[in-house]
Structure 1
Amino acid sequence: MGRPWMVSWQMLLLAASIPSSCFLRFPGQGKMRIHIKVEPETPRDGQSVTLTPERVDLFSCHWYRGAAEEKNKIFVYSLSPFTEQKNGPAFSGRESGATDCSLHITDLRLSDSGTYTLRMGGVLRNEMGATSITISEILSHPALWPTESLESENTSVTLYCNTSDRLDVSILWFKDGNPVQSKTGLSDRNRTLALTSITKEDEGIYTCQAVNPVSNAVSNPSKITLAYSSAEAHTGTVIGSLVAILVLMGILTYLFLRARHRNGRSSSLVVPTPQLYENDPPSGQTKSQVKPESPSKASNTYETLQPRIQSVYEEIKR
């Protein structure tokens, strides 16, 4: 009678140990199976972010900053039999959980960038997931130096774009507002621009632009000028003077010819006024067309002009 009881007790212990063995050796334990959604996708400094698993079907949510180790634990959020949040060593006071097993972080800092791991626990299994976030900053204007360079032909010059060294920041280069040509050398994650064997084509205004997912900023300008030798400068001065003289002569010649042309036109337009004499025929008549007055008419005129004294008239008539 004692032996069957002993066997039954051993079988009971064995049955009790089976679930524990299955939990420790469950093939899915430790594998990343949970997809985590990040909102917003590009969080920036000072904002908030929420990390939410795609599903919740276990009893507790364990959030870690980095690997799933006790020293990295932010908190454990229990879902059953009642909700409760127990904070861990990595808790900063800005993190909170919810019944959807999410992690909400407020007042983001650049140092919050990194990997976040979630472990959801239950009676028979654990499931895990992880995601990485990058907190972007509002970029300030890069400092480009030197601000001005006077270089000789076929020498080299290097420009430095001083800006944020974070991995999410990209650097673009421009010359006179256009992207730089491929012959230029870029290094230090595009923060250094080296121009070798410079020529006249390399002269101009250079700028660099810093870009990240939430902002962009343009640097101060840097001017590169090509220096010439004294002989070249003298030749250029002489050529410039000759060109100026030729242009001036051309202008003076044009003004002279134009004034002369105007004077010629004015002379051709002057019509001399004919002198009128008392014995000239009226306008439109020739001398042959003018008929002399008849003697009788002249006599009548004469008589009309004479004084009407009969004695004088008789005397003249004799």
Structure 2
Amino acid sequence: MGGPILPSQCTVLILTDALSCLPASLLTFWNPPTSAQLTIESVPSNAAEGKDVLLLTHNLPQNINGFNWYKGQGVDGTRRIIGYVVATQLTTPGPAHSGRETIYPNASLLIQNVTLNDTGFYTLQVIKVDLVNEEATGQFRVYPELPKPYVNSNNSDPVENRDVVALTCEPETQDTTYLWRVNGQSLPVSPRLQLSSDNRTFTLFNITRNDTGPYECETQNPVSAHRSDPVTPNVLYGPDAPTIFPLDTSYRSGENLNLSCHAASNPPAEYSWLVNGTSLQINTQELLIRNITVDHSGSYMCYAQNSATGLNRTTVKIITVESIWFSEKSQEESFYPSLCPMGTSKSQILSRTSSICLYTLFPLFWFLMADPGRLPHP
């Protein structure tokens, strides 16, 4: 019988792939040594149009004759960009060379002033001395530098509770994320708000005066982000029910009647006045009547109209003008209070022909009679 297998013999057997001399447990965990894998890193991986991209090589093997770069995945002579011979340090441009590519001795590739068409995969082929080639593939994407967006509206002067407003973020660009803001905040959730599938168009149904914004759109891609100038829709509304100021309804003869009418409206409402159903042909917000009399009592109507919305509203105020009670200006009559109606003379008072006036003066009469010295002397 043969002797036992010595370690030196086992080593020889391992090198000759005779692994049966190793225990099963060692075979389970044993792996043949491997070298680091050739990889390509794109710097940056997302590039802005017009910028430069470096395809950086990692773990380049030893003992190489040269290398080639290809556009796409895999080796295709028609898509070869450039080659490099190590011994002579010569570069050889290929059919896919655009004049913007530069190859370095460490096998890295610089692409300058990249375009959208440069997006994609790039393959490095390493030719070793032993003629066993290695390949690695990297990729990058090129995005446009986004311009500043602007908001386009289908209706810059919508009517409240009637019109639909669609705001669109312009211009349209590929691979772009669109965002909207109102009053500096994200759009609220509302059944009246609707966004297109790409978020580029924002639709507002039954717009109200509270929906004036301002609105901004923002565009984003991996290399840039910009925000539009704010846009404020000019919502037309009103007029609401007008209010007549002042709120007083009682006046005295001889006073001035100065009324003003106010109604919320955009654009501002046009006003006119009617008294007791008759137009005064006064198309102003204020109404001034000097030295009013009892004949000016009645209903005062303010008519407010918005020609842009086609709407109008009215309000009515009832004004009562009372007579002035007075006495004659003689010295003797200066002691009598001005409580009698206009046109009532002293003789009428003394003869008691004016029962209302006399009734009013009755307490004063007894006051004077109680002390005759209080009466005026001729």
TM-score of the superposition, structure 2-length normalised?
0.48
Distance in 2 (CA, whole Å) between partners of 1:100 and 1:219 is 45
SS at match of 2:239: helix
Distance in 2 (CA, whole Å) between partners of 1:150 and 1:43 is 42
Shift of 1:240: 8.0
Bigger RCO of structures 1 and 2 (CA < 8 A, at least 6 apart): 1
Deviation sequence 1:253-305 (CA, Å, 0-9, x none): xxxxxxxxxxxxxxxxxxxxxxxxxxxxxxxxxxxxxxxxxxxxxxxxxxxxx
CA contact (8 A) 2:121 2:140 kept: yes
Kindly indicate whether residue 227 of structure 2 is the aligned counterpart of residue 192 of structure 1. no
**1:55 equivalent in structure 2:** 59
Shift of 1:121: 3.2
Shift of the 55–140 alpha-carbon distance from structure 1 to 2, 3 Å rule, reads same
CA contact (8 A) 1:163 1:210 kept: no
Distance in 1 (CA, whole Å) between partners of 2:198 and 2:84 is 42
Alignment of 1:1-318 (within 5 A): 34-57=38-61, 58-68=64-74, 69-79=76-86, 81-122=87-128, 123-146=130-153, 148-153=156-161, 155-163=163-171, 165-167=173-175, 169-183=176-190, 184-228=193-237, 232-235=238-241, 238-239=242-243
CA contact (8 A) 1:204 1:225 kept: no
Shift of the 126–207 alpha-carbon distance from structure 1 to 2, 3 Å rule, reads same
Shift of 1:161: 0.8
Is there any run of 5+ residues in structure 1 with no aligned partner, and where?
1-32, 247-318
Deviation sequence 1:83-134 (CA, Å, 0-9, x none): 3221111101110111111111122333322222222233453333222222
SS at match of 2:142: coil
SS at match of 1:111: helix
Shift of the 225–202 alpha-carbon distance from structure 1 to 2, 3 Å rule, reads same
Shift of 1:78: 2.6
What letter is aligned with 1:208? Answer: C
CA contact (8 A) 2:66 2:83 kept: yes
Matched residues, number: 208
CA contact (8 A) 1:151 1:224 kept: no
Distance in 2 (CA, whole Å) between partners of 1:54 and 1:67 is 18
Shift of 1:201: 4.5
Question: Superposition RMSD on alpha carbons, in Å?
Answer: 3.1
Deviation sequence 1:171-202 (CA, Å, 0-9, x none): 21111221212443322522222223444553
TM-score of the superposition, structure 1-length normalised?
0.56
Distance in 2 (CA, whole Å) between partners of 1:114 and 1:62 is 17
What letter is aligned with 1:203? Answer: T
Shift of the 178–110 alpha-carbon distance from structure 1 to 2, 3 Å rule, reads same
Distance in 1 (CA, whole Å) between partners of 2:177 and 2:168 is 14
Is there any run of 5+ residues in structure 2 with no aligned partner, and where?
1-36, 248-258, 262-378
CA contact (8 A) 1:148 1:222 kept: no
SS at match of 2:48: coil
What letter is aligned with 2:174? Answer: R
Shift of the 154–65 alpha-carbon distance from structure 1 to 2, 3 Å rule, reads farther
Shift of the 234–195 alpha-carbon distance from structure 1 to 2, 3 Å rule, reads closer
SS at match of 1:107: coil
Deviation sequence 1:151-185 (CA, Å, 0-9, x none): 43265322111135131x32211112212124433
SS at match of 1:204: coil
Going by fraction, where is helix more abundant, 1 or 2? 1
